[in-house]
Amino acid sequence: MNDPAKIRNIALVGHRGTGKTSLFEALLFAAGAVTRLGSVADGTTVSDWDEDEKKRQMSLSAGLAHIDHAGLSYNLLDTPGDSSFLADAIAGLQVVETALVVVNTVLGVEVQTERLWERAEARGLGRVIVCNMLDRERADFDAAVAALQEAFGAQVVAVQLPIGKEHDFNGIVDLLSMKAYTYAGGKATEGDIPADLADAAAAARDKLIDAVASTNDDLAEKYLMEEEITADELNAAFAAAVAAAQLFPVACVSATANVGADRLFDVLALAPSPADVPAPKVLKGDEEVQLECDPSKPAVAFVFKTLADPFSGHVNVFRVFQGTVSSDSQLVVARDGHKERLGQLLKTQGKENKPTDSLVAGDIGAIAKLKDVVTGDTLSAEAGAGAFAPVDFPAPLMSFAITAKSKGEEDKVISALRRLSEEDPMLEVHRDDQTGEMIVGGMSQVHVEVTVARMKRRFGVEVELKPPRVPYRETIKGTAKAEGKHKKQTGGRGQFADTWMEVSPKPRGEGFEFVDKIVGGAIPRNFIPAVEKGVRAAMAEGFLAGYPVVDVQVTLYDGKFHPVDSSDMAFQIAGSLGFKAAAEKAQPVLLEPIMSVEITVPEENVGDIIGDLNSRRGRVLGTTPRGHNNVVGAEVPLAEMLSYAPDLTSMTGGRGDYHMEFLRYEEVPAHLAAKIVEQAQKDKEEAQKS
């Protein structure tokens, strides 16, 4: 396909359980891309081919397939709907012109549908809505459309009506052509609209024409003058309104029963092509540069998905926004300017890849075995062509410390995590500088558990998860003096160093200061740095519960030395002993990190959220309306937020989310500090025994 106007890039989005994967499969079957209708239940779908997806019967990453149908070329993305695995849905919306929003007709508009709609709206994408599962008990199309209009506005308009209700659903009425299609054995028969639906269909078509006319002056004039509007005029105006995100058509489907999927192509054909909407802009320094959806221009492409395979390496999936990308060509990676030689280009069909020679502006494809290309990279034919802005992925909500089950496999764990984090942008991996733990952060416990399962299956690495340690700090509230003396005689040259120092608190956040007030050569100048080094080492180890000491001034004001037995090491030890002795007398306290938290929830849940935050020692700062939700602002100790994600899900039925970032350190209440210190002592004793 070399004409961008013939391409349709469509992402299937919606809440988990709306039947996106089943609809994806039904569209492939209707177009003849597969010979049998796969099932999520038995793990035979094209897009959910990963073992974890089959086991959990849910999409964990985006599935991509290419369809040729009625002269058009479709790139379909089947995206996850679970909040833990939305990375591919978010990235997928960056590379399509249309979001195919799939709704469970029984349950109506659910939370992830709302959130993904907002992202599609922010990008100005065309949106087509599918009311799926119309054959289910309590499925009510009219009620679903009303709920959609309440959630997304009056621009939501039906283009089809269902024939039959619930288990008797067996066809659709196409309001654009005013034809009926009934199904038996998965095959459609075209006919006249049933008599009992004639009045409803006429009324619905009037609403459709009225909605389309409101977006087109010429059509509005004809409509008001009661002149005939031809099918071509209606379709053209409707397509323009969908491309401009002025109207959102609603279609009827039962994907698993294979009713209506083939007629959905009539609606998708009206969806915008890459040539119908302005190409995005790239950043070139501080300047924005407008791209053109023109195959003859220098190529610019965006990598929106990466697959990590232990055998074939990386497979990068990308969208060409300008120019033409060919096999065996060379592109520049905007991130650092290095060049990559492309091998065979691929068109992805689930887990299968079909070779292709080139991809034009507007098309989507893949390339394997590039040396250093990751999700979010911009590839271009010319150096300095600019780069796309980073994709705004949510920050991880839940973290775990991760360790190898077998000693000696730490490097394998790090390598596997690095590969998987390149595949999943919402997976965060880092080493905690204070505790030394390897931390893996995800959107939920399930998200991290899936990562662990993939590590074992793909890379042969088994790991253990445990809650991460809270990065407490230690400090002092008072001033105290103490001696630090190190003396050792073992025959021959001994060790001797004597220091006197004063410790005092500094304002929170000002860090450590070492003051040298030695006079008269009580300690030679060359040993002063060794004393400071010993103090810093003692501060790193802590003296209450093993956490680093912060915001302290240490003044070295006196000491003694021996001309033979004194050394740098002796003064390091003396400095460490002196600091610990003084700090223990200076009202030591434990500090904990306080987080700034924003929690977005439906209005009816605000009271429960505030009550829960109070029970977590949080300080609620206020609430702010945001769309259909409210945002609760609060300051909460990190120790109270480690298990917040599942609790929030429980309180809000999955409709809430939150974001938090570090704010400052505050003193831990005395009764809690005592428990933390006691536990630290136990852990230390157990570690010594082992």
Range of the domain at 483: 473-586
- 347 and 226 in a common domain: no
The pLDDT of residue 187: 87
Phi–psi pair at 124, nearest 5 degrees: 70, 25
CATH of the domain at 33: 3.40.50.300
d(CA 307, CA 367): 10
Taking the whole predicted model, whether its pTM rises above 0.85 is answered as: no
Residue 674, domain member (yes or no):
no
Residue 591, domain member (yes or no):
no
Phi–psi pair at 121, nearest 5 degrees: -65, -40
Domain boundary among 380, 409, 440: 380
Instruction: Determine the straight-line distance between the first and last CA of the chain, rounded to whole angstroms.
Output: 66
d(CA 152, CA 119): 13
Phi–psi pair at 228, nearest 5 degrees: -70, 135
- 171 and 44 in a common domain: yes
> Three-state SS for 677?
helix
- 365 and 307 in a common domain: yes
Residue 685, domain member (yes or no):
no
When divided into structural domains, the chain yields a total of: 5
- 125 and 262 in a common domain: yes
Token pair for 441 = 């952060």
Edge-first strand order for the sheet with 352-356 is: 339-341, 330-333, 378-380, 300-309, 313-322, 364-368, 345-349, 352-356
- 454 and 428 in a common domain: yes
The pLDDT of residue 127: 96
Cα angle 317, 323, 327 (rounded to 5 degrees) comes to: 55
CA 574 to each of CA 72, 337, 491: distance values in angstroms, whole numbers, following the listed order: 80, 52, 20
The answer to whether 425 touches 393, Cβ cutoff 8 Å, is yes
Domain boundary among 531, 559, 586: 586
Residue 391, domain member (yes or no):
no
Across 489-628, the runs of DSSP E, i.e. the strands, are: 495-505, 512-516, 552-560, 588-602, 619-626
CATH of the domain at 613: 3.30.70.240
Span 482-519, pLDDT tens digits: 999 999 877 667 899 999 999 999 998 899 999 999 99
Token pair for 564 = 């033979």
CATH of the domain at 504: 3.30.230.10
Helix 111-122, helix 141-152: angle, nearest 10: 50
- 60 and 205 in a common domain: yes
d(CA 66, CA 366): 12
d(CA 124, CA 129): 15
Residue 631, domain member (yes or no):
yes
CATH of the domain at 294: 2.40.30.10
- 216 and 71 in a common domain: yes
H/E run at residue 65: strand 63-69
Domain boundary among 208, 240, 268: 268
**Site of tokens 């949510």:** 394
Q: Which residues of the chain have pLDDT under 70?
A: 1, 309-313, 433-435, 491-492, 627-628, 687, 690
Residue 675, domain member (yes or no):
no
Integer-rounded Cα radius of gyration of the chain: 32
- 237 and 362 in a common domain: no
- 408 and 350 in a common domain: no
Phi–psi pair at 570, nearest 5 degrees: -60, -40
* Residue 230 identity: T
H/E run at residue 420: helix 410-423
- Torsional class of 32: left (φ above 0), alpha (ψ -120 to 50), beta (otherwise): left
- 214 and 72 in a common domain: yes
Cα angle 658, 662, 666 (rounded to 5 degrees) comes to: 120
The answer to whether 677 touches 545, Cβ cutoff 8 Å, is yes
- 428 and 316 in a common domain: no
- 638 and 542 in a common domain: no
Q: In the 3-class helix/strand/coil scheme, how is 443-468 assigned residue by residue?
A: CCHHHHHHHHHHHHHHHCCCEEEECC
d(CA 546, CA 621): 33
Residue 519, domain member (yes or no):
yes
Beta bridge partners of 402: 465
d(CA 616, CA 647): 12
Q: Nearest to residue 428, comparing CAs of 404, 393, 453?
A: 393
The pLDDT of residue 627: 65
CATH of the domain at 435: 3.30.70.870
Residue 386, domain member (yes or no):
no
The pLDDT of residue 51: 78
**Site of tokens 């990068």:** 316
